[in-house]
């Protein structure tokens, strides 16, 4: 029993196994869908899968960075929608897109900063701090800007919306381009930047990171501001694509869980310290293929939720089995 596990995990403790299981399942799904579902195995559908998963990948990058640092950002979707709302209000009022973007960027950075301040300085658990800020942001925006409504429509003719939902060059849509940029930025942060190395250190052993003199507070700020930026980016892409900002994305909660699902399925343990961009891609690949295949088979959204829920449970059970509880998790908790 132990042998095949140690064989695969020579590099580190049980990090790669879940990743390989998920990859194998994805490949199997692709084969099954190709054989049974009409129109799955076409170049056009591959493009659809790619552009449909752009905002999920962007969000997952933010969440992955947070989780690697042994945090959790439950305000990710609230920030995404709030960012899109702020941007839309300025665009609909005919302000220049660059100014709208800068103002929104600053506002969302502030939310990320507030999260980080609560977590690093006030020392509130990340789960509670971000849950509270998610509710606060959602409430504030619905109250002040939407006046209790759920939807905010974007003018389809605005050049910013046209740009965000169009192509940056033939064959490369803006969402996919932004996705690639975010992936590259995440890789840069995690691999080359001092903050990235500190993120791994904090996730692996927070007390050791603190005692070694690493700037844990500053790094927490970097982490949550980065997450807020990815949320904003995803918000712009998805609202431009659908022509509206919809607060029900926050209130029904499924998107948030889908993002966590991607991260966990990709093989990034919730206790942090491990994971890379590759894990995000592995996780998204499974969810995107599953989602696309189920849509092509005309599954209802309820049925899709049910199946995704099942996948999440299996993934978490597998994660627990492959990364068993130890004294470390007992002292710091699971999240």
Using the contact rule CB under 8 A, the part of the chain among 63-71, 97-105, 188-196, 236-244 near another protein is 188-196
Tell me the torsion sign for CA atoms 99, 102, 103, 104. positive
Contact status, residue 89 vs residue 107, Cβ threshold 8 Å: no
In the complex with another protein, which residue's Cβ is closer, 52 or 218? 218
Q: Which is nearer to another protein, 125 or 215 (CB)?
A: 215
212 binds another protein (CB under 8 A): yes
Helix H or strand E encompassing 60: helix 54-68
Q: Report d(CA 90, CA 99) in Å as an integer.
A: 8
Token pair 């690639």: residue: 180
160: contact with another protein by CB under 8 A? no
Compare residues 118 and 214 and give the one whose CB is closer to another protein.
214
Burial class of residue 134, CB neighbours in 10 A (0-12, 13-18, 19+): buried
CB of 283 to another protein, least distance (A): 19
What is the distance between the alpha carbons of residues 335 and 327, in angstroms, rounded to a whole number?
A: 14
Taking alpha carbons only, the member of 105, 49, 66, 56 closest to residue 237 is 56
- Closest distance to another protein from the beta carbon of 324 (Å): 14
Given the structure tokens 């960012």, which residue do they identify?
83
Q: Is 45 an interacting residue with respect to another protein (CB under 8 A)? A: no
205 binds another protein (CB under 8 A): yes
DSSP 42: S
Draw the binding track, 229-268, toward another protein (x: CB under 8 A; -: no contact).
----------------------------------------
Structure tokens at 190: 């995690």
Taking residue 176's Cβ as centre, other Cβ atoms within 10 Å add up to 19
125 interacts with another protein by CB under 8 A = no
Which position among 214, 223, 232, 255 is part of the footprint of another protein (CB under 8 A)? 214
15 binds another protein (CB under 8 A): yes
* For another protein, the closer CB: 302 or 331: 331
CA–CA distances in Å: residue 164 to residues 84, 168, 238: 12, 9, 9
- Taking the C-alpha atoms of residue 6 and residue 47, their distance in angstroms, rounded to an integer, is 38
Quick check: 193 binds another protein (CB under 8 A)? yes
- Which range touches another protein (CB under 8 A), out of 134-142, 160-168, 215-223, 283-291? 215-223
Q: Among residues 204, 242, 246, 296, which is the contact residue for another protein, using CB under 8 A?
A: 204
Classified as helix, coil or strand, 244 is: strand
Q: Which is nearer to another protein, 61 or 68 (CB)?
A: 68
Reduced 3-state DSSP string for 128-155: HHHHHHHHHHHHHHHHHCCCCCCEEECC
Q: Which is nearer to another protein, 196 or 293 (CB)?
A: 196
Measured from the CB atom, is 275 or 283 closer to another protein? 275
Q: Which residues bind another protein (CB under 8 A)?
A: 11-13, 15, 191-198, 200-201, 204-205, 207-218, 273-274
């Amino acid at each position: 029993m132990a042998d095949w596990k140690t064989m695969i995990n020579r590099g580190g403790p049980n990090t790669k196994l879940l990743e390989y299981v998920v990859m194998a399942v994805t490949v199997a799904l692709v084969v099954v869908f190709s054989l049974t579902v009409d129109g799955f195995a076409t170049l056009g559908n591959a493009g659809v899968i790619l552009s449909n998963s752009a905002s999920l990948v962007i969000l997952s990058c933010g969440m992955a960075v947070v989780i690697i640092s042994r945090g959790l950002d439950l305000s990710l979707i609230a920030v995404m929608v709030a960012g899109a709302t702020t941007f839309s209000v300025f665009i609909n009022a005919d302000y220049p897109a660059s100014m709208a973007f800068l103002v929104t960027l600053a506002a969302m950075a502030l939310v990320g900063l507030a999260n980080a301040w609560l977590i690093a300085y006030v020392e509130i658990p990340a789960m509670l701090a971000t849950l509270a800020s998610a509710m606060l942001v959602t409430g504030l925006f619905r109250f002040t800007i939407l006046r209790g409504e759920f939807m905010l429509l974007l003018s389809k003719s605005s050049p910013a919306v046209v740009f965000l939902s169009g192509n940056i060059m033939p064959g490369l849509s803006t969402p996919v381009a932004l996705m690639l940029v975010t992936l590259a930025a995440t890789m840069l942060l995690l691999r080359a930047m001092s903050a990235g190395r500190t993120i791994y250190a904090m996730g692996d052993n927070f007390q050791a990171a603190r005692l070694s003199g690493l700037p844990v507070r500053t790094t927490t700020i970097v982490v949550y501001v980065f997450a807020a930026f990815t949320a904003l980016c995803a918000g712009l892409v998805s609202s431009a694509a659908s022509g509206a900002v919809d607060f029900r994305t926050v209130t029904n909660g499924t998107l948030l869980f889908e993002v966590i699902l991607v991260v966990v399925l990709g093989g990034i343990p919730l206790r942090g310290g491990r994971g890379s961009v590759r894990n995000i891609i592995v996780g998204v690949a499974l969810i995107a293929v599953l989602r696309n295949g189920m849509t092509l088979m005309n599954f209802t959204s309820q049925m899709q939720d049910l199946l995704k829920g099942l996948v999440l449970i299996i993934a978490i059970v597998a994660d627990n089995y492959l990364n068993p509880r130890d004294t470390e998790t007992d002292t710091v908790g699971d999240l």
